[in-house]
Structure 1
Amino acid sequence: MPFKTLLTVTGAHQGDGDLKHAAGLCEEIHAHLSVFVLVIAAPPSGGEYAAVVSPAWLAEREAEMEMLEKRTSAVSRLLSESAVSADVSSDYPDAAWADEVIGRRARYADLTVVGPDLLASHMLKEKVIEGGLFSSGKPILLVPKSTRATLKPKRVLVAWDANLEASRAVRESLGILAGADEVRVVMVDPIEDERHHGAEPGADVAAYLARHGVKVTVDRLPSSNRSIADVLRQHAIDTGAELMVMGAYGHSRLRERIFGGVTKSMIEGASLPVLMAR
C-alpha cells in the first residue's frame, strides 16, 4: 500500500528541520503532510496534594499554552509557503496520556516520521515513538542525524526474526521493497525449526517477497559474540543500505527498558533511517 499521508510531531522548542525532512519525503512520493504540534503540560505542583493549585503552576500552564499557540502559527506559516499539501493540528496533553493522544492522531496517517530534532528531545521522543508503535497500528520512520531519508531507496535491509512484528514491518513496507533494486533479508543466528525460521531459514519470507516482485537476497549471519543490533548496523554499512525495515518491541517495553533489546538499541543508536512496525 502506498503512503499517502505522513505525520510528523513537533514541540514548542524545536526547529523546522524535521518539518523540512518530512515535507521533502512528501514531495518525493506525492503524499500529504500532517503536522501535530504538541506541548506536554507541566505536572501540577504539590505532588499527591495537587488539588492545591498554586499561582505559579497556573502561570506556567498559561505560558505553555501561549508557546503552543505561537508554534502552531509559525508552523502554519511555514507550510503555507510550501508546495506540499499539508494540515496542522495541536494539543496540550498531560504527560500520562501524551502517547495515547499522539497514537490517536497517527491512526489517520500511513507513516509517522521521527526526525533528528525529535530524536534529540528525550520526553517528546519517547511519547511519539510509543504512541506511534503501540497506539496507532501504523509504522514509524526514524531519521537519525546526518542521514538522508528516502522512501524510494535502492538498497534495503530487512531485519527478519520470523516474529509477528517483523511480518507486519515487511507488510507495511511492501511498496518500498518492491521498488528497490536490492532487498537483503538478514537473520542473525537463525534457529532451524518449525517454531522459528523453518527448515531453511529465510526461504519462506523470500518466496513471499518474490511473489510481490521484490528482488530479494537472504543473508544468514552469525552474531560472533556481538549484539544483534551491532551485527545489523554493520551489515547495513557493508551493503550500502539506505533503509532498514524491522519489527519493534518483540518483548515488552518494560523488559526492553530494563534489559535492553534490539528496538531500544536501534532507537538510541541508529546509523541509517529505520522503518519500524509493531
Structure 2
Amino acid sequence: MKTILLHVQDDERVDVRVENALAIARAADAHLDVLHVTPERAVAVFESFGGIDVDGQGLKNLRAAEDALEERVRHELSNEDVSWDYVRLTGSVAGSLTSGAALADLIVTGRVGHSSNKGHLKPERLLGDLLHSSRTPIFVRGDRQERFDPKGKAIIAWDGSFEAANAVRAGIGMLKLASEVEVVRVTEGGEEVEPGLYPVTRVLEYLSRNDIHANYSRIAEIDGKVSTALIDHADKMGAGLLVMGAYSHNRIVERLFGGLTSVMLRACPIAILAAH
C-alpha cells in the first residue's frame, strides 16, 4: 500500500479524516493524493439560468469556503513527514473519486455529506457508488473513533463469498499493519455451515502466505443480526478495524431489507475497510 486517495470536503469531520489518513500513510510509508470535489449540482444551483444567485455572492461564498478548506488542509499536511499533493475538481463526486482511485491502493472517505450538497447525494449512496464502480477498497472511520490506530487489532467478517475474499486481498496492506488479525464467521446459532465459495482454510492460508498469522472464531448472531454480533465481538477483542466484503446480495435488496453492507455504511462504531 503506497498510494492513498484522501477525499476532503466541507464537512465537520474532515479534520479527523485527514489525521486518520496521515496515520495510515505514516504507518505504511505511503503517499497521499488529496482530492477535493465540488459537487456539480452545488455549482449548478448558482450558475443556472434565472438562478437564485443573482449577484453571484452564493458562488463566491462557496469558493471562499473551498479556499479556506484547502488552506487548512495544506497547513496541516505541510507539518507532516508524509508526501502529498492536493487537487480540486468540480464534477461528479463518485465519478471523480473512482477516476482518482484507479492508481490508488485505498480510498479514505467519510459518512458525512458535503455541506452545500445536502439532499442530493447521501453519504451511504456515495459509498455504495464507490464500492460498485471502483476496484479500490474504501476506508471509513468509526463513528466512535476520533483517531484510528493502523497498528491496532483487526477483524475480518468472513462468509466464504467472493466479495469477502476480494476485501481481504484488497485490504492486505492494511491487515499487514495490524498487531492482531482474527477471521470471524457469524452464523445463526454459532453452528458450522456450508463454507461458501471459499472455505475458511483458504483465507487463513492466504493470510499466512502474506505473513499474517490470523486466528479464527465462529460466533452466533445477536438478536438475529450479523452486524450486532460483529460489533460486539470487535468490542470484546478491542479491534478498531473491520474488513468486510460489500453487497454480496443485490444492492437494491440490501437497501430495502437492511443487509450487512447497508447497516455498516450508515453507522459503525469502528472503522471499516470494504470492497466489492
TM-score by length of 1: 0.81
| Identity over aligned pairs, percent | 28
**Alpha-carbon distance in structure 2 between the residues aligned to 1:183 and 1:80:** 33
**Alpha-carbon distance in structure 1 between the residues aligned to 2:106 and 2:213:** 23
Is the CA contact (8 Å cut-off) linking 2:6 and 2:18 kept in structure 1? yes
Seen in structure 2, the aligned counterparts of structure 1 residues 12 and 242 have a Cα distance that, compared at 3 Å, is closer
Match of 2:212 among 184, 196, 214: 214
**Alpha-carbon distance in structure 2 between the residues aligned to 1:174 and 1:75:** 28
**Alpha-carbon distance in structure 1 between the residues aligned to 2:66 and 2:177:** 39
Deviations, residues 86-143 of structure 1 (Å, cap 9, x unaligned): 10011122xxx431122111223211112xxx32337463465234322221011111
Gaps of 5+ in 2: none
For 2:102, the equivalent position in structure 1 comes to 107
The correspondence of residues 166-177 of structure 1 with structure 2, limited to 5 A, is 166-177=164-175
For 1:56, the equivalent position in structure 2 comes to 52
Is the CA contact (8 Å cut-off) linking 1:178 and 1:215 kept in structure 2? no
Is the CA contact (8 Å cut-off) linking 2:160 and 2:197 kept in structure 1? yes
Moved more, 104-113 or 168-177: 168-177
Is the CA contact (8 Å cut-off) linking 2:157 and 2:164 kept in structure 1? yes
Report the count of equivalent residues.
Answer: 261
Amino acid at match of 1:151: P
The correspondence of residues 69-218 of structure 1 with structure 2, limited to 5 A, is 69-93=67-91, 97-114=92-109, 118-121=110-113, 123=121, 125-126=123-124, 128-147=126-145, 148-153=147-152, 155-178=153-176, 180-189=178-187, 192-193=193-194, 196=196, 202-218=200-216
TM-score by length of 2: 0.82
Seen in structure 2, the aligned counterparts of structure 1 residues 273 and 55 have a Cα distance that, compared at 3 Å, is closer
SS in structure 2 of the partner of residue 42 of structure 1: helix
RMSD: 2.8
**Alpha-carbon distance in structure 2 between the residues aligned to 1:131 and 1:257:** 13
**Alpha-carbon distance in structure 2 between the residues aligned to 1:158 and 1:61:** 44
Gaps of 5+ in 1: none
For 1:249, the equivalent position in structure 2 comes to 247
For 2:42, the equivalent position in structure 1 comes to 42
Amino acid at match of 2:15: D
Is the CA contact (8 Å cut-off) linking 2:162 and 2:197 kept in structure 1? no
